[in-house]
Amino acid sequence: MNREIIKYPFYLIVHPFNGFWDLKYEYNKRINLIISFIILFLMIVTNILGSQYSGFLVNLYNPENMNSLMEVLYVVVPVLFWCVANWSLTTLMDGEGKFEEIFVSTCFALIPLVIINFPWIWLSNLISMQETAFYYFSNSFAVLWFLFLLFVGNMTVHQYKPSKSIGTILLTIVAMGFMAFLCLLFFSLIQQMVAFINVIYQEIVIRN
Amino acid sequence: MKRVQKFSAILLAIMVLLFNISIGATTVKAEEGAPAYNYSFWGESVSAPDAYQAKKLINGNSLGIGSFNQPNDLHVTNDNQVYVMDSGNNRIAILDQEFKTLRTVDSFMNEGAKDTFSNPQGLFVTKDKDVLIADTGNHRVVHLDEDFNLVKIIEKPQSELLKEDYVFEPIRVVVDNADRIFVMAAGIFDGFMEFNVNGSFNTFIGANRVEVDPVEYLWKRLSTQAQRSQMVMFTPTEFTNLDINDEGFIYSTNGDQSEDIIKKLNARGTDILRREGYYSPMGDIRYPLDVGPSRLIDIDVTDSEIYSVLDSKQGRIFTYNGDGHLMYVFGGLGNQLGEFHTPTAIERVGDNFLVLDKELAEITVFGTTEYGRTLNEAVRSYYRGDEEKAFQFYKETVNMNANLEFAYTGIGKALLRQGDYKEAMHNFKQSLDQQNYSKAFLLYRKQVLREHFSTGMTVILLLAVGTLIFRKYRKMTRGKRVVSIE
């Protein structure tokens, strides 16, 4: 069984249609969730290590601007936004997927980003300027693979046709934009309120 | 008793005063001039040691020739004589290298009659010590020989490239090795005016490109012909100054807002300035919004392609090396020694700087500090290709200023030549120079692989043979076991 759990994600990324189907209908939900969180965690680790330890030729970074916590957010926030936006849309558009399923399929789609980028963190230290083309090629390949898996996963989870699936994905991106806007609005309002209360407090304190 | 009290009070006051003064004096010393800085790879201003320090002030009175009046231009010859264009007094003052007056010139003989200048703005001294004066008020360029006898006068050129009603107002003038004369004139947008040896007009060279603001362009497209004729025309910006180096390349500054405000023009008028630095040479790259970007009004080019520009907005002098790396910044607006009111011209006398202030009518002399000297020598040796020396000097420089990133490239290149690839890589990393890092890395990788080739290969072969034997062995034992079970 354990062996199965480790093997399964790799089976899924090369056989996405069967893989996502089994993921939705055959496998244990709890174990799926656990694997998803592990993948998300690995993605975060890859991201942090990548921005710190990637080779100098592919990664010019200002150590003053490097913040591991922000790197965590760069992974978690888009995934969360994507899942929420996708779920909100598909419940209105006859999607069959539950939130949990959307989350699990999204996380499984991240696998190529981890298994390709992770070795490249160290490999990129062993390449010259001319060889960075391979690095960028692999990176783009990983992204394309990820997008394909995301597409298939979404299609399978909601039982959509390909065309409708593409439409929902585009709409989801728009919805993510709206969510980002609302969040900004919310935070800036809260900030204003906090500042207002702070000012009043100061005024009262200084008066006495 | 009362008197004693009063006395002690006065004494106390004096002591306090003295104490204050001494404190004041120390703080003044600590803040002499603005703190020096440089820009890092990331475009942040980082502190740097002072490369130059103000040494003394020279004005007309101290020279014994009466105070200058609105002086506009300076020129230093190869034997370090200083020519000052004293525009308001319509004269030229010539100083020797110790800044003692040699003579002043305010007139010359023209066809038997005494002729004078009228508000002359610029001057240039050739290698043979011929003097060219942009005699702005008289609409001419005057060419005098070493002893200030008239050689020729260049008047408004006759050319169909110029409008009929054009008024020739030369501002600055330079002469190249082939005795061609380049004139920067007011109201000319087509570049510099080039005159040949006998003073006849050749052509314009090096016109600035027209910069079009997209919003303005849209407005223009939307408006009618009649409206358009009322609008401001898109014209290229005028040059603000020029200088020429020993190889005959013209260095110019202009009032653009673009990144190419400094140009190095070849004989065809093409800009060939190297912009290999972390950002384009353009004075300040970070500035307060209300001040705006630097307005460069003078340029001085010296040996080894080192050039300096003067920013009139903040009174700072920026010096770049041939690759376009910012070496040092000094100066500023203010009232202390080493600060200016309206700086108009800079020149180098050897490694010293002269900065001419127009309103205050005085010249500030700057001398190098140890840091400035070392950096100058480092850049020079590097330019000459003397990497061993450059290595030493750059090493000293980074000891004094670890923030000077491009210096590490100099160190790295020397190390690369010496074959210390690993250290070279480290230094290129410090200067964030990916190209050179890659070169050093390739060599380093080759070296490491060559060193460990035999061991590596042996290990791989042993592993391969080992697995083969192991497999065969397992097969044999397993086969046996199967047999034995059966």
Q: pLDDT tens digits, residue range B206-225?
A: 877 777 778 888 888 888 88
For residue B123, give the nearest of B69, B66, B184 by alpha carbon: B184
The pLDDT score that the predictor gives to residue B243 is 92
* Angstrom distance (rounded) from CA B303 to CA B140: 31
Structure tokens at B193: 């005016």
CATH number (domain holding residue B191) = 2.120.10.30
Residue (of B443, B367, B472) closest to A128 by Cα position: B443
Given an 8 Å threshold on Cβ–Cβ distance, is A56 in contact with B429?
yes
Spell out the residues 6+ positions from residue A64 whose beta carbon is closer than 8 angstroms to its own. Answer: B42
- Asked if residue B220 and residue B357 are part of one domain, the reply reads yes
Tokens linked to B311: 């920013």
How many helices and strands in chain B, by DSSP H and E? 10, 27
Q: Does A60 touch chain B (CB under 8 A)?
A: yes
Instruction: Please give the Cα distance from B425 to B409 (Å, whole number).
Output: 10
CA distances from A142 to A48, A113, A115 (A): 17, 5, 9
Nearest to B434 among A62, A126, A129 (CB): A129
Q: Indicate whether B306 and B337 sit together in one domain.
A: yes
Position B7 in a domain: no
A60 contact residues in B (CB cutoff 8 A): 432, 434
For residues B180 and B226, membership in a common domain is answered with yes
Contact B400, B376 (CB under 8 A): no
B81 and B228 part of one domain? yes
| pLDDT (0 to 100) of residue B350 | 86
Question: pLDDT band for position B24 (50/70/90)?
Answer: very low
Last residue of a domain, one of B368, B400, B428: B368
Answer whether residue B189 shows pLDDT above 90.
no
Q: Which residue of B has its CA nearest to A126?
A: B445
* Better pLDDT: B26 or B205: B205
Examine the fold and report which residue of B333, B368, B403 is the final residue of a domain before the chain moves on. B368
Q: State whether B435 and A129 contact (CB < 8 Å).
A: yes
How is residue B35 annotated by DSSP? P
Q: Does A129 touch chain B (CB under 8 A)?
A: yes
Q: Are the C-beta atoms of residues A137 and A123 closer than 8 Å to each other?
A: no
Above 90 in pLDDT, residue A46? Answer: yes
Mean pLDDT value of segment B114-143: 90
The label of the residue with tokens 């949990």 reads: A100
Residue B25: what pLDDT?
40
Residues A104, A34: contact at Cβ < 8 Å?
A: no
B432 touches chain A (CB under 8 A): yes
Give yes or no for a contact between B287 and B294, defined as CB atoms under 8 angstroms apart: yes
Q: What are the tens digits of pLDDT across the range B471-485?
A: 999 888 876 655 555
Question: Is B438 within 8 Å of A126 when comparing Cβ atoms?
Answer: no
Judging contacts by C-beta atoms under 8 Å, the chain A residues touching residue B434 are 56-57, 60, 129
- φ, ψ at B7 (rounded to 5°): -60, -45
Q: Is B437 on the interface with A (CB under 8 A)?
A: yes
Region at A40 (left for phi over 0; alpha for psi -120 to 50; beta for the rest): alpha
Check residue B31 and give its pLDDT.
44
Residue B146 near residue B127, CB atoms below 8 Å: no
How many beta-carbon pairs under 8 angstroms link A with B?
20
Yes or no, beta carbons of B445 and A126 under 8 Å apart? yes
Tens of pLDDT, residue by residue over B346-368, are: 999 888 999 999 999 999 999 99
Query: Which residues have CB under 8 Å from B246's CB, separation 6+?
Result: B177, B303
Sign of CA dihedral B134, B135, B141, B142: negative
Question: Which tokens sit at B419?
Answer: 């074959």
Confidence of residue A72 (pLDDT cuts 50, 70, 90): very high
Mean pLDDT over B328-339 rounds to 90
CB contact under 8 A, B434 and A60: yes
| H or E, element range at B93 | strand B91-95
Contact flag A56-B437 (C-beta cutoff 8 Å): yes
Measuring CA to CA, how many Å separate B456 from each of B19, B448, B463, B465?
A: 74, 11, 11, 14
Find out whether B183 and B193 touch, Cβ atoms under 8 Å. yes
Same domain, B328 and B416: no
Encoded tokens for A196:
């207002």
Q: Output A186-189 pairs: Cβ under 8 A, ≥24 positions apart.
A: none
- CB contact B434 to A (< 8 Å): yes
Domains identified in chain B, total number: 2
The per-residue DSSP string of A108-157 comes to: HHTHHHHHHHHHHHHHGGG--TTTHHHHHHHHHHHHHHHHHHHHHHHHHH
- Is any Cβ of chain B less than 8 angstroms from the Cβ of A130? yes
State the pLDDT at residue B30.
40
Q: Are residues B355 and B395 located together in one domain of the fold?
A: no
- Alpha-carbon distances, residue B303 vs A158, B226, B332, B376, B396 (angstroms): 72, 53, 25, 10, 21
**B364 and B417 belong to one structural domain:** no
Q: pLDDT tens digits, residue range B420-446?
A: 999 999 999 999 999 999 999 999 999
Contacts B429 to A, Cβ<8 Å: 56
In eight-state DSSP terms, residue B208 is P
Q: Which runs of consecutive H residues, i.e. helices, occur in B34-165?
A: 60-63
Q: Does the structure show a pLDDT above 60 at B1?
A: no
B433 sits in the region (left: phi over 0; alpha: psi -120 to 50; else beta) called beta
Amino acid at B223: S
Would residue B159 count as lying in a domain? yes
Identity (one letter) of the amino acid at A88?
S
Cβ of residue A57 closer than 8 Å to a chain B Cβ: yes
Chain A positions touching B432 (Cβ under 8 A) are 60
- Domain CATH number, residue B428: 1.25.40.10
Do residue A60 and residue B429 have CB atoms under 8 angstroms apart?
Answer: no
Name which of A62, A126, A128 is nearest B42 (Cβ-Cβ): A62
Who's near B117: CB < 8 A, 6+ residues apart? Answer: B90, B91, B106, B107, B133, B135, B137, B138, B142
**Pair (B153, B260) in one structural domain:** yes
Residues B331 and B422 in one domain: no
Cβ–Cβ below 8 Å for A129 and B429: no
Q: Token pair for residue B190?
A: 């087509």
DSSP B31: T
Report pLDDT digits (tens) over B227-280: 877 776 666 778 889 999 888 899 999 887 777 889 999 888 888 999 988 888
Q: Is residue B261 part of a domain?
A: yes
Q: For the residues A174-193, what does the mean pLDDT come to?
A: 95
| Torsion angles phi and psi, residue A79, rounded to 5 | -60, -45
Report in angstroms the alpha-carbon separations of B486 from B143, B329, B479, B481: 117, 91, 11, 8
Q: Are B353 and B339 in contact (CB under 8 A)?
A: no
For A52-61, B234-243, B268-277, B453-462, which range has the lowest pLDDT when averaged over its residues? B234-243
Cα B255–B257–B261 angle (5° rounding)?
55
CA dihedral B95→B100→B106→B108, nearest 10 degrees, is -60
**B362 and B418 belong to one structural domain:** no
- Note the pLDDT of residue A180: 94
Read off the pLDDT band of B34 (50, 70, 90). low
Identify all chain B residues contacting A126, using CB atoms and an 8 Å cutoff.
445
d(CA A9, CA A12): 5
SS3 B143: strand
Residue in this structure with the two tokens 């305010």, named with its chain if needed:
B106
CA distance B437 to chain A (A): 8
Question: Worst-scoring range by mean pLDDT, A201-205, B30-34, B41-45?
Answer: B30-34
Q: Is B261 within 8 Å of B253 (Cβ atoms)?
A: yes
What's the mean pLDDT in B152-174?
86
Is residue B124 domain-shared with residue B56, that is, in the same domain?
yes
Number of structural domains (chain A) is: 1
pLDDT in tens, A116-153: 999 999 999 999 999 999 999 999 999 999 999 999 99
* Residue with the two structure tokens 């939130």: A99
Q: Which residue of A has its CA nearest to B434?
A: A57
Indicate which of B44, B426, B434, B436 best probes the interface with A, i.e. most A CBs within 10 Å of its own CB: B434
Buried b / exposed e across A55-88, counting CB within 10 Å, b at 16+?
bbbbeeeeeeeeeeeebbeebeeebebbbbbbbe
Cβ neighbours of A130 in B, within 8 Å: 438
Share of chain B above pLDDT 70, in %: 90
B413 shares a domain with B327? no
Q: Which of A173, A156, A155, A175 is nearest to A165 (CA)?
A: A155
Residue B208: domain span: 46-368
Task: Looking at B354-403, list the stretches that DSSP marks H as alpha helix, in order from N- to C-terminal side.
Answer: 370-384, 387-400
- Say if CB A87 and CB A97 are below 8 A apart: yes
pLDDT given at position A82: 95
| B325 three-class SS | coil
**If you average pLDDT over every residue of chain B, what do you get?**
86
| A56: nearest CB among B42, B434, B445 | B434
**Chain B residue closest in CA terms to A57:** B434
Instruction: Reply yes or no on whether the pLDDT at B6 is more than 70.
Output: no
* pTM of structure: 0.81
